[in-house]
């Protein structure tokens, strides 16, 4: 078998057409000591794309806190982070974007996003137990946005429902900045016996390398490169870069993968996502410090005459690369036979570091694994950044410039039916939320999704959060708020925050103002994660969420989506008796606000949508105070002093109260704090506030603990009543009317 590369060397122009920079082409020549051929340039263009290499973000990602007392696998070490949750169990979890494919093909884009993130979890040997998703679309009155919403939700539903993992949480947000670039972030959470983790590695000279799962087709070729540019008029031409999902194959692959995880036949396994075979062969080889010889003509294919580079780069879904211990091939083969899946040896582990790809006995590419990967030879860029002018403008906002509306009830009804606030059941009822019989929040809604760990007296709390409007207003504070809100949701549900995964959705990183948003968000995330001792276990960066750049390099920051660093957080509920619902339980229970009432309406839905004031800072937020409120809440919950807890977030206190009242058809009677403006009190989104209800029998204990030990601001709002909403003695509504408005608003926008 010849070792000489047979194909002709190619020019820098071809490299640029494949998305590489001319200096990157020079670097490839230096690494190889010769001019690369077409297959090799294709390899580098995929592996050095933003999507795979993180070349424009990694210097900042490294500054995020990565270690915590419970980390079993840190960020970047494996396909997903792994956290010790006790009792010999680990929790593997990760969030990933599928924004670009969803922009042009919402159904398949979203479906394969769900498939990909779940593969990241079960390739480690963990069984997924919960899914979450964070979705952003253009204004719901825009048909293009509704097309995105319909397709994305159906795609997530059809894939996830068949795959059979319940959706336990998520968010849906509408703003015109997402019209061209919707954001589709999918998160999966899995549980594993900590001792059985499968590593994404390859070693042991002579060990066979198998491809398992679906056959390889021409779908998704250059998907990684596609995801690394702005969406433009010509993006529809990239449609073949979108993959097609098959949840049935994924389900079989899940069961087969978990069966082989139980054997001792495996060296390592990695799923094939972005950049397909080339990505898994290079990352596993680089991690295990070995080389690989791969015969591409042995890969099962879906169509005739596929070229070597097409097989290498195909992003066909539902495939895995498995390195098996020599002599144990039959164990693996039998398991895949049982599940009627392909399982074909396509190569073997070699000494050294070289990846050699053969097609019909001809060596078509030969590249060092290390040179392709993040942390190895992939380029790393320091980008310049500068503060955009809008940031200073935002800070000029003064609340006094806004007059208090005469009819506050009209504002309340406006917010109750606002698509960003109203019930998302039009979306969530299309997802199977109960398969797996672990969802403890179906009949007992809480601020976080709660996963039952059957047979143990503990549970897992999961949430995804990011108010991107706050992040746009002030990226550093806004991102710290996203972390704080996630932690607050976990705490309200009775949990203790454990770790986060992030999905960083931004515009074009070559624009210094966009990059400033990115850098500032990282700073905010770092300080909040340090405060809550929640390390970042991994995640994903999605740049280029920006409509076509005209003029200067990197386009204009105003063409970018709101900077959207979605935070996925898990927490542990150490005893099931701590699980706390958001729902009021009984008339006569007292309602308290924990935290400070502030004269603040900045960046609230009220200010933005009712007053149409789009320039204001992030809402009031103080990290220290947030920490104190959460610490106090945890103690109050664990002492058993409170009945319900629900944090104030989008829409403010009024929305929090109706959300607590609706589950059991109760009402509330409250008085407005005369120290703050009525509109700020009811609709302001100042952070670090939680509404709790307390039974009359426990109220003395509750107050004693706060006064004597916890030392936080609190305010008696009023009490739970039968079915009316009463504010300052005036009856605003029956809860049934509010429920009707809140529950049906989204369906009405969808014209159903």
Partner 1 sequence: MKIGVITFPGSNCDKDMIYVWEQLLEQEVVNLWHKSNHLQNCGLVILPGGFSYGDYLRSGAIARFSPIMQQVAGFAAEGGFVLGVCNGFQILCEAGLLPGALLHNSSRKFICKNVFIKPEHTNSLITASLNTSKAYKIPIAHGEGKFYTDQETLKNLNEKKQILFRYCDARGEIGSESNPNGSLQNIAGICNEKKNVFGMMPHPERAADVELGNTDGKEIFQSILDAVAV
Catalytic machinery residues: 51, 98
Q: Could you tell me the CA-to-CA distances from 515 to 339, 382, 386, 547 in Å, in that order? A: 47, 10, 8, 16
Nearer of residues 453 and 727 to partner 1, judged by Cβ: 453
State the nearest-atom distance from the C-beta of 266 to partner 1, in Å.
22
Among 181, 201, 452, 604, binds partner 1 (CB under 8 A): 452
From CA 67, how far away is CA 479, in angstroms rounded? 20
**Which among 522, 457, 451, 448 is positioned nearest to 488, based on CA atoms?**
448
Contact between 340 and partner 1 (CB under 8 A)? yes
Nearer of residues 127 and 523 to partner 1, judged by Cβ: 127
State the nearest-atom distance from the C-beta of 344 to partner 1, in Å.
20
Among 248, 552, 640, 700, binds partner 1 (CB under 8 A): 248
Name the burial class of residue 69, with classes exposed (0-12), middle (13-18) and buried (19+) by CB atoms within 10 angstroms of its CB: exposed
Residues in contact with 401: Cβ distance below 8 Å, sequence separation at least 6, in sequence order:
none
Chain-centroid distance, C-alpha 635? 29
Residue 123 · residue 115 · CB < 8 Å? no
Among 62, 74, 251, 527, binds partner 1 (CB under 8 A): 251
Nearer of residues 164 and 723 to partner 1, judged by Cβ: 164
For 592, the 3-state DSSP assignment is: strand
State the nearest-atom distance from the C-beta of 727 to partner 1, in Å.
29
Phi/psi of residue 749, each to 5°?
-60, -30
The sheet with strand 459-465 has its strands ordered as: 449-452, 459-465, 564-573, 496-505, 536-542
State the nearest-atom distance from the C-beta of 91 to partner 1, in Å.
19
State the nearest-atom distance from the C-beta of 164 to partner 1, in Å.
3
Among 171, 175, 246, 605, binds partner 1 (CB under 8 A): 246
Nearer of residues 260 and 306 to partner 1, judged by Cβ: 260
State the nearest-atom distance from the C-beta of 432 to partner 1, in Å.
5
State the nearest-atom distance from the C-beta of 752 to partner 1, in Å.
8
* DSSP code, position 721: E
Nearer of residues 17 and 425 to partner 1, judged by Cβ: 425
Residues in contact with 589: Cβ distance below 8 Å, sequence separation at least 6, in sequence order:
643, 693, 694, 695, 696, 719, 720
Nearer of residues 365 and 582 to partner 1, judged by Cβ: 582
From CA 429, how far away is CA 441, in angstroms rounded? 14
Residue 694 CB-half CA count within 13 A: 27
State the nearest-atom distance from the C-beta of 437 to partner 1, in Å.
4
Nearer of residues 320 and 411 to partner 1, judged by Cβ: 320
**Which among 710, 688, 596 is positioned nearest to 642, based on CA atoms?**
710
Nearer of residues 217 and 652 to partner 1, judged by Cβ: 217
Site for partner 1 in 640-659 (CB under 8 A): none
**Among the candidate windows 9-17, 241-249, 264-272, 599-607, which touches partner 1 by CB under 8 A?**
241-249
Residues in contact with 302: Cβ distance below 8 Å, sequence separation at least 6, in sequence order:
215, 216, 217, 218, 316
- The DSSP element (H or E) to which 28 belongs, if any, is helix 22-32
**Among the candidate windows 131-139, 152-160, 303-311, 465-473, which touches partner 1 by CB under 8 A?**
152-160
From CA 635, how far away is CA 710, in angstroms rounded? 9
Contact between 548 and partner 1 (CB under 8 A)? no
**Which among 314, 331, 127 is positioned nearest to 224, based on CA atoms?**
314
The site string for partner 1 over 156-185 (x = CB under 8 A, - otherwise) reads -xx--xxxx---------------------
The site string for partner 1 over 320-339 (x = CB under 8 A, - otherwise) reads -------------------x
The site string for partner 1 over 107-146 (x = CB under 8 A, - otherwise) reads ----------------------------------------
The site string for partner 1 over 190-229 (x = CB under 8 A, - otherwise) reads ----------------------------------------
Angle at the Cα of 177 (from 171 to 178), degrees rounded to 5? 50
Nearer of residues 12 and 435 to partner 1, judged by Cβ: 435
**Among the candidate windows 366-374, 442-450, 494-502, 561-569, which touches partner 1 by CB under 8 A?**
442-450
State the nearest-atom distance from the C-beta of 455 to partner 1, in Å.
8
Angle at the Cα of 670 (from 665 to 675), degrees rounded to 5? 150
Number of residues that bind partner 1 (CB under 8 A): 34
Nearer of residues 454 and 730 to partner 1, judged by Cβ: 454
Site for partner 1 in 575-634 (CB under 8 A): 576
Q: Could you tell me the CA-to-CA distances from 686 to 101, 468, 632, 669 in Å, in that order? A: 36, 15, 18, 22
From CA 596, how far away is CA 256, in angstroms rounded? 53
Contact between 444 and partner 1 (CB under 8 A)? yes
Q: For residue 78, how many other CB atoms are within 10 A of its CB?
A: 25
Site for partner 1 in 382-441 (CB under 8 A): 425, 429-437, 439-440
**Which among 357, 367, 354 is positioned nearest to 294, based on CA atoms?**
357
State the nearest-atom distance from the C-beta of 541 to partner 1, in Å.
32
Q: Which residues bind partner 1 (CB under 8 A)?
A: 154, 157-158, 161-164, 246-249, 251-252, 339-340, 425, 429-437, 439-440, 442-444, 452, 454, 576, 752
């Amino acid at each position: 078998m010849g070792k000489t590369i047979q194909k002709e060397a190619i020019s820098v122009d071809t490299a640029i057409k494949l998305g590489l920079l001319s200096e990157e082409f020079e670097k490839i020549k230096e690494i190889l000591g010769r001019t690369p051929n077409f297959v090799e340039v294709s390899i580098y263009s995929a592996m050095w794309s933003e999507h795979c290499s993180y070349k424009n973000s990694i210097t900042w990602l490294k500054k995020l806190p990565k270690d915590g007392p419970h980390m079993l696998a840190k960020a970047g070490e494996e396909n997903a982070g792994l956290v010790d949750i006790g009792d010999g169990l680990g929790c593997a979890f990760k969030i990933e974007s599928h924004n670009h494919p969803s922009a042009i093909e919402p159904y398949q884009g979203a479906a394969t996003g769900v498939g990909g993130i779940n593969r990241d979890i079960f390739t480690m040997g963990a069984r997924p137990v919960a899914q979450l998703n964070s979705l952003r679309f253009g204004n719901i009155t825009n048909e293009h946005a509704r097309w995105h919403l319909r397709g994305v939700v159906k795609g997530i539903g059809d894939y996830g429902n068949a795959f059979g993992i319940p959706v336990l949480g998520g968010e849906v947000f509408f703003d015109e900045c997402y019209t061209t670039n919707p954001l589709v972030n999918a998160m999966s959470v899995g549980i594993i016996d900590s001792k059985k983790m499968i590593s994404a590695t390859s070693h042991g000279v002579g060990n066979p390398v198998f491809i398992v799962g679906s056959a390889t087709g021409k779908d998704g070729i250059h998907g990684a490169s596609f995801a690394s540019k702005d969406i433009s008029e010509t993006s529809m031409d990239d449609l073949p870069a979108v993959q097609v999902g098959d949840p049935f194959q994924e389900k079989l692959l899940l069961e087969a993968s978990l069966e082989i995880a139980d054997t001792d036949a495996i060296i390592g396994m990695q799923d094939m996502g972005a950049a397909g075979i080339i990505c898994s062969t290079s990352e596993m080889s680089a991690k295990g410090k070995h080389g690989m010889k791969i015969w591409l003509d042995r890969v099962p294919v879906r169509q005739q005459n596929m070229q070597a580079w097409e097989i290498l780069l195909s992003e066909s879904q539902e495939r895995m690369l498995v390195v098996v211990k020599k002599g144990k091939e039959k164990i693996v083969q039998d398991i895949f036979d049982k599940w009627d899946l392909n399982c074909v040896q396509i190569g073997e582990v070699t000494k050294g570091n070289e990846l050699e790809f053969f097609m019909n006995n001809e060596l078509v590419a030969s590249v060092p694994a290390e040179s392709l990967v993040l942390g190895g030879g992939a380029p790393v860029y320091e980008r310049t950044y500068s503060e955009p002018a809008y940031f200073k403008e935002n800070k000029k906002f003064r609340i006094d410039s806004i007059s208090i509306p005469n009819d506050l009830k009209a504002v309340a009804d406006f917010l109750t039916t606002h698509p960003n606030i109203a019930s998302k059941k039009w979306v969530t009822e299309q997802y199977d939320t109960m398969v797996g019989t672990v969802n403890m929040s179906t009949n007992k809604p809480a601020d976080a999704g709660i996963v039952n760990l059957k047979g143990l007296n503990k549970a897992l709390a999961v949430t995804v959060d990011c108010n991107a409007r706050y992040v746009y207003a002030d990226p550093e504070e806004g991102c710290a708020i996203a972390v704080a809100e996630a932690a607050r949701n976990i705490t309200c549900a009775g949990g203790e925050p454990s770790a986060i995964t992030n999905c960083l959705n931004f515009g074009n990183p070559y624009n210094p103002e966009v990059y400033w948003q990115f850098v500032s968000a990282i700073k905010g995330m770092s300080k909040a994660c340090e405060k809550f001792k929640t390390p970042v276990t991994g995640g994903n960066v999605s740049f280029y969420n920006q409509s076509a750049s005209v003029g200067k390099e990197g386009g204009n920051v105003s063409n970018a989506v709101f900077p959207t660093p979605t935070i996925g957080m898990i927490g542990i509920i150490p005893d099931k008796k701590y699980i706390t619902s958001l729902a009021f339980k009984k008339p006569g229970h007292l309602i308290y606000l924990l935290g400070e009432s502030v004269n603040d309406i900045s960046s609230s839905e009220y200010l933005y949508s009712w007053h149409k004031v789009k320039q204001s800072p992030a809402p009031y937020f103080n990290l220290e105070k947030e920490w104190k409120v959460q610490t106090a809440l945890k103690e109050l919950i664990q002492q058993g002093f409170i009945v319900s807890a629900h944090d104030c977030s989008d829409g403010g206190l009024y929305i929090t109260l109706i959300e607590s009242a609706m589950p059991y058809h109760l009402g509330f009677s409250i008085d407005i704090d005369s120290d703050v403006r009525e509109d700020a009190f009811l609709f302001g989104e100042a952070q670090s506030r939680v509404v709790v209800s307390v039974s009359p029998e426990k109220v003395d204990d509750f107050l004693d603990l706060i006064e004597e030990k916890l030392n936080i601001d609190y305010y008696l709002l009023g009490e739970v009543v039968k079915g009316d909403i009463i504010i300052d003695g005036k009856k605003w509504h029956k809860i049934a009317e509010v429920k009707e408005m809140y529950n049906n608003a989204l369906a009405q926008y969808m014209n159903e």
